[in-house]
Every structure is written in C-alpha cells, then in structure tokens.
Amino acid sequence: MSYQAPIKEQQFVLETIACINDFAVFPAFENATPDVVDAILSEAGKFSAGVFAPLNKVGDRHGATWSDGVVTLPEGFQAAYKQYVDNGWGSLGADTVHGGQGLPFVLATAVQEQMTSANMAFSLCSMLTLGAIEALQVHASDEQKKLYLTKLVTGEWTGTMNLTEPQAGSDVGALRTKAEAQADGTYRINGSKIYITWGEHDCAENIIHLVLARLPDAPPGTKGISLFIVPKFIVNSDSTIGARNDVRCVSIEHKLGIHASPTCTMSFGDNHACIGYLVGAEGAGMRAMFTMMNHARINVGLQGVAIAERAMQGAVLYAKDRVQSAKFGGPGREAVRIIEHVDVRRMLMILRSTTEAIRALTYLNAACVDRAHAETDPDKQKAAHGLADLLTPVTKAYATDMGVEMSALAIQVFGGMGYVEETGAAQHYRDARIAPIYEGTNGIQALDLIGRKLPMDGGVHWRNLFSDVRSFTNSLPKSGDLGLLKPYLEDALEALNTATVWMVGNDGPDANDSAAGASLYLRMFGITMGGWLLAKQAVAAQDKLAAAEGDQSFLKAKIITARFFCEQILPQAVAMLGPVTRGDSLMMALSDEQFLVA
C-alpha cells in the first residue's frame, strides 16, 4: 500500500492546536515562520513517501539479521539512511549550537509522524537518537556535548537507551550492570542489557549507547543509578573514531512486528575493557534518563498516530475500490463499493476521527514542551511544563492503544484480505502492538498519571486544563453544528472531573482503589481531551468557512468529523465513570487458584 503524508491535516493541527504561527516570536524559534513550516512538511512528506515507505514491506519480510555480533539491515536501508542524513532530517529540533536547525519540537514531531507512518521500524532509529540528543543537551558536560552531539545531530552517529535487564524491566532500580571508576576519570562498565532498540546496525559509523549502571558503593534502588556514555567506537579528542569498545550485540529478538528494527541483547565488558563516561553526577542517572524517556514517550505516542493514519489510508483506498454486495435495504441487487455500506462508513469514521483526535493530543503535548523551553515569563513557563508533564502519560498510553485498535479496525474493513499479508494491513497491526508496551507499559503510564501527575503542584495543572475546556465549551453556540457538540463535551468533562476528584482523594489504604481504575481513567481522560481538541478545530474550521478561506471541502469535513467523535465516541467517557470509581474489590475477589481451573 502506498503512503501519502496528510500535510493539509498536519498544517491545520499545527496552526489551530499547537499555535505554531505564534512560535516565531520566541528567539529560540525565530526561523519557524509559516513558509518554513509548510516547506519542511512538504519536503519531508515527499521523502517519507518516496524513500522510507517503499522499504516498509521489504523490512517486514526480510528483517534485520545477526551473525557473530554483526547486525545487517535489508537491502536499501543503508542508502535510505544516508539520504536521511544528507537531507538533515534528524537535525530539525536540535540546538543550533550543535549543528541543529533550532526548530520547534512540535514541527519535528510532525515530520517524525510522516516517517513513522512510512516505515515504523526504520523510524525507531532516529527516534532513539533524538532522545539521546535531548538527554545530552540537558545533562552532559560541555566537553561531552562538543565530542558527541554534532555527529548525533547530523545522524552520522546514532544513539540508544540502555535500561532493561532480564530482572529489571519496569523496576529499573533492580538493575545489576556495574560501573567502576578508573584513575583516568573513565569507568569500566560490566553487565548486559536486553531489548535495546537499534543497539547494533550497519547504517551509521558509530553508535552512542546511553547506559544505566550502578557504582560499587551506590545505594539500592533508583537513587543508586548513574548514566554513562558508552560508544561503540571510542571517540578521540578531535572527534575522530578510534578503537572498538568492549561492547557487543550477542543476539537479536525475533518479534511479532517491526522486523527491520534490530532489538538487541547487548553485552558490556566481556573482556573487562568496556569504557564508559559519566553523564552528570554520580547517582543522578534516572533524572538524566527521564529526560530521554519523556521525550521518547511523546514520540511513542506519535507511533500510535502514525500507524492509525497509515492503516486508515489503506482501509479507505480499499473500501473505495472493493465491490461487494448490494446496499442493505436498497432498491436493487447490484453490488456496490463497500465504502457505500453504512457499517463500513461507521468503521472509517471511527478511524478518521480517532486518528485526528490522537494527533491533536500529541501535537498539543509537543507544543507544551516547546513553550516550557521558550517562554521567558516564569509563570507561563511553569504552566507549559506542568501541562506537558500531565499530558505525556495520556499521549503515550491513549494514542498507542488507539494505534492498535485502529490498525485492527482497518483489518476489519479489508475483511479476509486484511488477514492476508500481501495487502499490508496485517503488518500495521503487528508493528503497532509493541507501542503500548515499551517506554513504560500503558498500565505504568496510568499509575504515573494518577500517582504523580495529578497531584503535581497541588493539582493546579489538571484544574487549569479542565477550566480551559469548560470555558471553551461554554463559549460554543447553542445551535448549529457547533452547538451540537456542547452537551457531549459538558457531560464528558463533568464525568472526568468527578473521576479526577475521586482519584486524588484516595491515598493510604484506598490507593489500590485508584490503581484499579487507573487505566480506564487514563482512557477517559484521553477521549475527553480528544473531543475537546476536535471541537476546537471545528470552531476554527467554521471561522474559516465564514471568511471564505481555505479548502471548503476539507473544512466541512473537520466539522463533520468533530461531530462524529463527540456524538459517537465521547459518550464512552461518561459511561466509564462508574467502572473507574468502583474500586478493587471485584478485581481481587478471585484467589490465584481460581483463575485456572483444571
């Protein structure tokens, strides 16, 4: 299936939700003018569709291969990655001091969406590198920045994140990889890591691993963890590549999807000669790694958007072409294209409206990150930072859940052909399934939302957000298409507010009641935000229609899509209030033995 970047849709969301046209007033983003934004989206769309997309099925069929520590990507990947580097796509959001273009994260997010839709497995390489860049920009020493960042920003080198060990998955504090200080200021790293995305490959000349490890006298748990730069090849003081470091890929995983993304088991210090360089202070590793993880969690949420978009495009094209059966209750017996069947239309509208909702949520989250960095007013900066933190677990979990559900729904549109690999629909489902798991499972995101993000700063951030939603809803007219949105938004917000007050009121012995409803609460949050953001776009579309501006067909479709989501999907949030607040008693009622009865 071909891919076409949804540039008009992306531009509209960037303007109406991210408010990107206001960014050029910030000194940090002075180059983010509308013409530059449009040109980047257009060229990135061509690159994604023309270079990355044709390799998607190739990568799925042939995958990455391992032999004696060497990982080889399928034919065409090296050349495509070189084009990615030569065109400067990895440098969009990086600081100009290190060779980046200094453009907003939200614009880089839109470009990353295109590349992920085109080829999710391939895009993971750049996603991990972008996270490494973010961590080093914030936490590395000036010397380390000078040594590593320029090559990472260009993409000549790639980056990884090394947290997980066999006994230390979600519980990062249980890791056992060791680091011992040396007289020359370096450290000797010894241990192994699993599930390391793009930990070894043949597309870049060096790989910069960011590795969590524990010093001999470090306290237990996460407070005893430090972060280290462990390059595949040692980098000389003049930034040239030196000797091979004592780090090896000992195997790669055979996975359900993302076959062209090598998921590596990495071994550090087999010969007791793995050199690492401390990033930041000893024991401050988790703080540095969370900088990288929070960046990555938004980009993983973006994977849900990207796969939903790609799956939807395939389903729409198939539905326009496939002829099957007469219309239900129609006057004749002549078969019609399945897009004319109302139940297929129902599925396509769910695909369209949900994809647009999670895109708006993800772009808003990314724009808040930009404002947290660019605002000079301390109060505005704090508000943007707080909203970005609040939305991150919602973006990661809700968007990736929807990526899986939408790719499954797209298969249903295809019918039996969706279950056949040659159509490509099944690949999207297989690729999407990892996103709710990595970078912190979605259950952990839900616990993070209720346990850390809601109480943050006394709850001011969720209260301010809900106040904004309420003010917007109150401003809607009482009639017309926009007026029809109002009661659904009011009901959903009231239910979400009630659930939130209940969540933050549970502590001590009642905390498990909140945990029992956390995942459903996060979905309730995501659906409500999606309805609000689509309604905001509908208002903007109505204003443009009234002024006879823009593509009239596109603008009318935005209003219809918002109405569909609010009338058909948003009521789910109201229905979730009871289950969210019902507590854990039924979930814990069965004994362990009762789950499986012989």
The domain limits of the chain are: 455-586
Output the six-digit token pair for 395: 């973006």
pLDDT at 331: 76
pLDDT at 516: 96
What dotted CATH number matches 455-586? 1.20.140
pLDDT at 172: 74
pLDDT tens for 252-277 read 999 999 999 999 999 999 999 999 99
Residues paired with 337 in a beta bridge: 323
Output the six-digit token pair for 123: 């895009």
pLDDT tens for 465-485 read 999 999 999 999 999 999 999
pLDDT tens for 284-312 read 998 888 887 888 899 999 999 999 999 99
**N-term to C-term CA, the chain:** 46
Contacts of 398 by beta carbon, 8 Å cutoff, 6+ apart: 301, 304, 358, 361, 522, 523, 525, 526, 527, 530
| Pair 206, 244: CB distance under 8 Å | no
Query: Binning pLDDT at 50, 70 and 90, where does residue 127 land?
Result: very high
Residue 435, Cβ density class (10 Å: 0-12 exposed, 13-18 middle, ≥19 buried): buried
**205 labelled catalytic:** no
Please pick, among 340, 439, 490, 494, the residue that the annotation labels catalytic: 439
pLDDT at 1: 63
**Secondary structure of 269-287 in the HEC alphabet?**
CCCCCCEEEEECCCCCHHH
Strand (E) or helix (H) holding 49: none
Output the six-digit token pair for 356: 């647009």
pLDDT at 220: 86
Alpha-carbon distance 470 to 215, whole Å? 50
pLDDT tens for 503-558 read 998 876 778 999 999 999 999 999 999 999 999 999 999 999 999 999 999 999 99
Query: Binning pLDDT at 50, 70 and 90, where does residue 224 land?
Result: confident
pLDDT at 290: 81
Per cent of the chain over pLDDT 70 is: 99
pLDDT tens for 167-216 read 877 777 788 999 999 999 999 999 999 999 999 999 999 999 999 999 99
Taken in order 573, 578, 580, 586, the sign of the CA dihedral is negative
Alpha-carbon distance 148 to 136, whole Å? 9
CA distance to 5, 107, 111, per residue, from 55 (Å): 16, 24, 18
Query: Binning pLDDT at 50, 70 and 90, where does residue 34 land?
Result: very high
| Pair 231, 206: CB distance under 8 Å | yes
| Pair 242, 234: CB distance under 8 Å | yes
How high does pLDDT run on average in the chain?
A: 95
pLDDT tens for 319-378 read 999 989 888 877 778 999 999 999 999 999 999 999 999 999 999 999 999 999 999 999
**Residue 408 phi, psi dihedral angles, 5° rounding:** -70, -40
